[in-house]
Structure 1
């Protein structure tokens, strides 16, 4: 800003000073032209004396010569500068008035020449002289004014710049400090959002970031705590039953019973670890799917067949209502995984002899898959958390009455990766609806 201001002041000063100098020179030339006009009308001794008398009281001087350069009249005494200039300039081009000396910085005078033409013939010249000190005083005065104004504006500019810089950098420094706290793991960040500009937007973004980091930190801690709890329980069973089975006094029948329990817990642990691995891949965006056009009903029937042992154990009824030719755009393996997880959830938690209804409907751009059971449903306040990882309605659920708490979370991730949506609601039991893209709409 200082460089710009200095440049502008220099240009402005140069233009104004040149204008003032040109005005002085043009005024001197115009004054000489006026005397020349008077003398062209009456070129006699009385007029010569009258012109000289007019300039005698002015700061400027006039010298009138004949065509040979002889001095006819002057308003003041003639010095060597006057004589040298008169001898050097006796005529002007095309007999027009000209400026014959304009070096006001080094010469004592600036001068003009106005030829006296009578009947087309040169009769003499009018020389006008003005002390160069007039122009020097003018430029000096102008320079002082410009310096004063320039210093004043420079000071004001510095004050404004430093004030604005302080106002701007203060919240930025504050934001820098808070972001450093975020990088060190501290999430108790609170920045003022009252700015109605980009700083306000940035402050709000940092506050939202701090809130998200705090939420993610809490979710991570809860998740790790839940995982530790979920792993501790089956490991305790494994260790306990292994100790009992290894005792010599344990009967062969009890040993087989305990080994079967150990096998079940091992399978449960394997399932949980596989599900955790799948969720980790989803979080890292490395969970690959290979979608293709596939018919819905065969995939659902295949998923039902894989769960036949569970259906038989619960003496359950599974009804399927699906058009034969209806297709979706999905990875067949992941689609069956979704159906199996939802069906498994419905069979386990809808009471004795459960009845589950799978209905598939064709919508405009989607396929709506509804899995409804006739169980007790879930509390309304728990529905928003139903698809959260490790969420369970019964926090103390035993190994015989519950799964890993990851199945519905995996369902949600797979459906959303395919561009679909899953939601739950109570409707004479728990009803889960999956909105899946049709062919070519993914």
Structure 2
């Protein structure tokens, strides 16, 4: 990993330098050539003005010699290999004013030249960079001065040598930086890897130091969050097992004690009915706990099946409510229904009854005598709202985020609510989630608790009843 990272960084650095160097060389070459042509044009214009001043009516004798000398002086002072001039007559005749005319012959469109022309010529197989500058002479035609050079405008050999040295130095520096950074990054990855192995080995307390705010830092934060959640999940699982063990041990202890007493004949005949009732109640408690555990495990393992069908939800809930009236009357609790007619809904009636039954049982355990339990149903824009409200002591604000956790309520409020499996609200949340809804709890400061379920509208469209695993 470190080697790949190191060579990858070096390769990127070398490629960047090469591409940047070639691009810079091309840009510099164009810039230098453009600057040279501009300078040639300026010198050609100055030379043309000198020639114009000394140009005789007929370029012969001393006058011609004077023009030739001017061209030589310009070539010597400017360091040009080629300085040529000619007069282009009104009819296009070209009359050279100096010695030779190798560039004049290659000026594009010299007979009709009206402005500065930069062009490339060839002399003895060499490329010549040249500029032609025309100046009007009135009726005599046009004076054209051509300046050119075959010399390299940029000493590429020297430049290439320096570039190679710079590339070598940059390569060494990139290698040093890549080695340093790869060691640093590999160290951070190594610490992350070591922590991951500790977690895989069962040590959920392993954490990674967060170094920096880059991607590796974000990865360390995410790893620590994951490890923290796993540790919390293991703690909850341990607490869950302890609580389940307690809830199983209590009725088993009661049943075992009475069974032993019955076997030894220590129970009077008059107490047999009472003892039988106790044994039956404890057996029902065990049965509910086991059934709730099995149901919750099936839901969490995605082995849960919904069977939606058209249901008159309001009438269905009224029937569930009527089934609890005997218990509420015995407990001297008022049971109120505030159920709106929401029409026929496509849902699983058995699971709806199970959810509402769990909520009503939970509310009845908290509500004191002369208290009230209310079941409400109404439609809102987002969907259906189903609420069960009790007038019990309420829930502490710090416990609200944990109400739907397994056995949390049963453990936290055991003195207030000694009975129940402690899994009812966890099952409610899972069932509602499977049906595409959400569950929340509201506990105002003055007491009382409301469990609010948001369910999809699910208005029946006349389709046949079906079966689905997960909505």
TM-score, normalised on structure 2? 0.62
1:432 aligned onto 2:450: yes
Q: Residue 181 of structure 1 corresponds to which residue in structure 2?
A: 195
Q: Residue 277 of structure 1 corresponds to which residue in structure 2?
A: 294
Mapped contact 2:409–2:422 kept (Cα < 8 A): yes
3-state SS, counterpart of residue 139 of structure 1: coil
Q: Distance in 2 between matches of 1:229 and 1:105?
A: 107
Structure with bigger gyration radius: 1
Mapped contact 2:363–2:373 kept (Cα < 8 A): no
Q: Residue 468 of structure 2 corresponds to which residue in structure 1?
A: none
- 1:405 deviates by 1.0
- 1:406 deviates by 0.8
- Indicate which of 317, 324, 327 corresponds to 2:342: 327
RMSD of aligned Cα (Å): 5.9
- Residues 46-71 of structure 1 deviation map (CA, whole Å, 9 limit, x = unaligned): 112212333455255768999xxxx9
Higher relative contact order (CA 8 A, sep 6+): 2
The alpha-carbon distance between structure 1 residues 39 and 208, as it changes in their structure 2 partners (threshold 3 A), is: same
Q: Distance in 1 between matches of 2:70 and 2:249?
A: 120
Q: Distance in 2 between matches of 1:112 and 1:432?
A: 93
1:54 aligned onto 2:60: no
1:388 aligned onto 2:405: yes
* Structure 2: 5+ residue stretches without partners: 1-15, 88-95, 460-470
- 1:6 deviates by 2.9
The alpha-carbon distance between structure 1 residues 231 and 168, as it changes in their structure 2 partners (threshold 3 A), is: farther
Q: Distance in 2 between matches of 1:27 and 1:287?
A: 91
- 1:269 deviates by 3.6
- Indicate which of 308, 311, 316 corresponds to 2:331: 316
The alpha-carbon distance between structure 1 residues 199 and 345, as it changes in their structure 2 partners (threshold 3 A), is: same
Mapped contact 1:2–1:154 kept (Cα < 8 A): no
Structure 1 stretch 13-22 or stretch 23-32: which is displaced more?
23-32
Q: Residue 14 of structure 1 corresponds to which residue in structure 2?
A: 29
The alpha-carbon distance between structure 1 residues 20 and 143, as it changes in their structure 2 partners (threshold 3 A), is: farther
Q: Residue 5 of structure 1 corresponds to which residue in structure 2?
A: 20
Mapped contact 1:385–1:391 kept (Cα < 8 A): yes
Aligned pairs, how many?
A: 419
* Structure 1: 5+ residue stretches without partners: 75-81
**Aligned pairs for 1:354-373 within 5 A:** 355-360=371-376, 362=378, 364-365=380-381, 367=385, 369-373=387-391
3-state SS, counterpart of residue 387 of structure 1: coil
- 1:44 deviates by 1.9
**Aligned pairs for 1:29-68 within 5 A:** 38-39=54-55, 41-57=57-73, 58=76, 59-60=79-80
Q: Distance in 2 between matches of 1:96 and 1:383?
A: 95
Q: Distance in 1 between matches of 2:396 and 2:109?
A: 110
Q: Residue 407 of structure 1 corresponds to which residue in structure 2?
A: 424
